Amino acid sequence: MAELRFSALKEVYNRVPVEKKTPSKSISEYFGTNVFDLHKMEHYLSKEAFRVVKKAIYEGKSLTRQEADQVAIGLKAWALEKGVTHFTHWFHPLTDGTAEKHDGFLEMGENGHMVENFSGAVLVQSEPDASSFPSGGIRNTFEARGYTAWDVSSPVFIVGTTLCIPTIFVSYTGEALDYKAPLLKALSELDRAAVDVCQYFDKDVKKVIGTLGCEQEYFLVDEALYYARPDLVLAERTLMGHQSAKDQQLSDHYFGSIPERIMCFIEDFECEAYKLGIPVKTRHNEVAPNQFECAPIHEEVNLAVDHNQLLMDIMKRIARNHKFRVLFHEKPFAGINGSGKHNNWSMATNTGVNLLSPGKNPKTNLQFLTFLVNVVKAVNESNELIRASVMNESNSYRLGGHEAPPAIISVFLGTYLTEMLDNIASKVTEKKMTPALKTELKLGIGKIPEILLDNTDRNRTSPFAFTGNRFEFRAVGSSANCSASMIVLNAAVAYQLTKFKKEVDLLIKKGRNKDEAIFQVLKKSINESKRVLFEGDNYSKEWHAEAAKRKLCNIVSVPESLKCYLTQFSKEVLIGSDIFTEKELESRVEVEYEKFTKKVQIEARILGDLAINHIVPTAIRYMTTLIDNVKGLRDIFSDLEYERLAGARKEMIIIISDHISNIKMLVNEMVEERKKANVIEGSYKKALAYESKVKPYLEDIRQHIDKLELIVDNEIWPLPKYRELLFTK
């Protein structure tokens, strides 16, 4: 086995960077060439078809069959010019990736002639018979029918020779089976609620969109080493491996110059991303060795989510060309930083205003404060739901896991805004406000610096931080489809804005003027949300104690956290606003419990296999060498000398033997616990059992293996070590 490790290492040492395929043109010249965007629509569609598609995109109007046929004609013409042969409905099932099933344009024409055909009917809807995707009991495999339907708001694109049509995925009976359908509903709910609140400030606002920019963190591992680590291949994380003597202590990787081989990979995948209209902009080395980040310019949430899913796909594909594997797992290596996908999120109006960016005068700033406070309140009220939206097996190693961030969801605002909110909370009274107080408050908020970006202190430990003109939701995991977090965040904010509007309107009805009513409800909201505001170090022990005092919950258990999707309040937020039906929500949580159980089960099996078939035999081999050595000493030395020389070796034999026995015993116990858990009825209880009874063994077993790694002869150790995985590039 060790041969594989050493031949892999040799391969890595001899690697030369793969030549880049980036065109010599400037990026703006080829940006979006593989996307059927408005510009191309105008060119390829009839005037009428172009008009109806635009209406569908901006106003959500659906297309008639004839209109769809018109669009299909233009789309086919463009696709054929680009050498496309197949098309697929591209959707986001409740797994971690995206799904596609290709069909050729090819059809049998008259007299046996083959022709390329593509109709409006297949553009708009398809029945992929995708019966094996998780549905949480909504469908049985014998009633396989699931439909995909075109999401006109996300443009069609080409990958290779396939035309990809972004779609939602629903069951025959209309229930959502994917992430996109509820996301679109949540975004439309936010639109409605935010437009209503905007009317207090600007009657011209007709539409509000959520905006999202995802910072994507990832690790790169050389392909040869990756193949020598079955745990990486099957679970995308190392289930064993002693910490490298040097890893991230010196912070010398962070923002360092990007190594050439890595740079070639980055430029190549960025180029593919540009062609697909994904505006990647930022790239840098991250804190952990071989960890990197890329971030696009923010876009409308639905599009940003599609682009992030597509980007992960592109990165995986291009990495192979460069003999790398990209790891999106939240915690591929113990003891060093994990990866997140910071969701930078805000709201923008059709009039071009970022609602979380302060403006120039008291009026726009009151609007800014209104939205800011309502987001804070939403995070306070939907605290458990927001955590549930980012909790899953792989992210549990980050959230509340071995190192920060904790599973406590708090909000950071910075000193300036914190003082501002304190001021409002302390000055505004329940009684009618005096003209002097009104003027004072308005003067105060009029002074909020237009560019808060430069005036806001940063807090890198906060799971939900205000960063000057947006919130950065950092608890989202790097491998996640951000739809899950975006459905919940946008729904929670929409719910809160609706409540806010009702309260303000009620006060206005009672005779308060508008500003006064707004101030009063803001004050109430600030006071009610105080517990969620935290400016200190979220990684500290003190925060855990303080959060408990504030009754802010800290649920590290994945199933327990997921269960919060089903509280009365969560249902009010998600079902009350028609984002989910009760059945959809329950089945979704069911899917999550099952996913959790299966992932722990897979990891437990891999570890058991590696421990017994790779590690134990290696340790026994080395122990045998030591035993032979001790026997040899006995043969050639006198008793006295033998005792002096053999002592240390004998001790090593005992230590190795103890580790072997422990591994053997723990693996057996783990298997027994799995057997017990497997027969538990009910996916919640089963997930709990897997978490509390099976998962701890992963840690316990690896402890012994990692100790052995430090003792056993390097020459025979079968798996690439952390120093090799992290420091070869």
Positions that interact with ligand ADP (CB under 6 A): 211-213, 215, 282, 295-298, 344-346, 354, 469-470, 472
Cβ nearer to Mg ion, comparing 215 with 724:
215
Cβ nearer to ligand ADP, comparing 214 with 688:
214
Name the minimum Å distance from CB 399 to ligand ADP. 19
State the SS3 of 587-613.
Answer: HHHHHHHHHHHHHHHHHHHHHHHHHHH
For the chain, what is the radius of gyration of the CA atoms? 29
Residues in Cβ contact with 545 at an 8 Å cutoff, skipping those fewer than 6 apart: none
Name the minimum Å distance from CB 574 to ligand ADP. 23
Cβ proximity of 348 and 299 under 8 Å: no
Cβ nearer to ligand ADP, comparing 215 with 673:
215
Cis ω on the peptide bond leading into residue 23 (within 30° of 0)? no
Span from 214-222, 305-313, 344-352, 523-531 in contact with Mg ion (CB under 5 A) = 214-222
Which of Mg ion, ligand ADP, none does 469 bind, CB closer than 5 to 8 A by kind?
ligand ADP
Structure tokens at 716: 């025979």
Cβ nearer to ligand ADP, comparing 223 with 472:
472
Which of ligand ADP, Mg ion, none does 135 bind, CB closer than 5 to 8 A by kind?
none
Cβ nearer to ligand ADP, comparing 343 with 577:
343
Residue whose C-alpha is closest to residue 319's, from 254, 270, 285: 270
Name the minimum Å distance from CB 499 to ligand ADP. 24
Name the minimum Å distance from CB 355 to ligand ADP. 9
Which of ligand ADP, Mg ion, none does 221 bind, CB closer than 5 to 8 A by kind?
none
E strands present in 302-416: 324-327, 341-349, 411-412
Name the minimum Å distance from CB 473 to ligand ADP. 10
Cβ nearer to ligand ADP, comparing 190 with 295:
295
Residues in Cβ contact with 286 at an 8 Å cutoff, skipping those fewer than 6 apart: 217, 253, 254, 292, 293, 337, 339
How far apart are alpha carbons 13 and 384 in whole angstroms? 48
Which of Mg ion, ligand ADP, none does 563 bind, CB closer than 5 to 8 A by kind?
none
The residue number with the shortest CB distance to ligand ADP is 213
Cβ nearer to ligand ADP, comparing 153 with 354:
354
Contacts of Mg ion in 165-194 (CB under 5 A)? none
Structure tokens at 637: 């030395």
Name the minimum Å distance from CB 613 to ligand ADP. 43
Backbone phi and psi for residue 171, each to the nearest 5 degrees, phi listed first? -80, 170
Cβ nearer to ligand ADP, comparing 299 with 709:
299
Which of Mg ion, ligand ADP, none does 161 bind, CB closer than 5 to 8 A by kind?
none
Other CB atoms closer than 10 Å to residue 636's CB: what's the count?
9
Residues binding Mg ion: what is the number (CB under 5 A)? Answer: 1
User: What is the SS3 assignment for 138?
Assistant: coil
Span from 213-221, 456-464, 505-513, 689-697 in contact with Mg ion (CB under 5 A) = 213-221
How far apart are alpha carbons 213 and 308 in whole angstroms? 9
Name the minimum Å distance from CB 492 to ligand ADP. 17
Residues in Cβ contact with 468 at an 8 Å cutoff, skipping those fewer than 6 apart: 357, 451, 452, 453, 454, 455, 456
Cβ nearer to ligand ADP, comparing 211 with 577:
211
Cβ proximity of 409 and 383 under 8 Å: yes
Taking CB under 5 A as the rule, does residue 67 contact Mg ion? no
Structure tokens at 194: 């935010």
Q: Containing H/E element for 280?
A: strand 280-285
Q: Containing H/E element for 218?
A: strand 208-222
Name the minimum Å distance from CB 480 to ligand ADP. 16
Structure tokens at 711: 């003792």
Cβ proximity of 151 and 166 under 8 Å: yes
Which of Mg ion, ligand ADP, none does 298 bind, CB closer than 5 to 8 A by kind?
ligand ADP
Structure tokens at 277: 């209209």
Cβ nearer to ligand ADP, comparing 404 with 555:
404
Among 96, 100, 215, 393, binds Mg ion (CB under 5 A): 215
Q: What residue ranges bind Mg ion (CB under 5 A)? A: 215
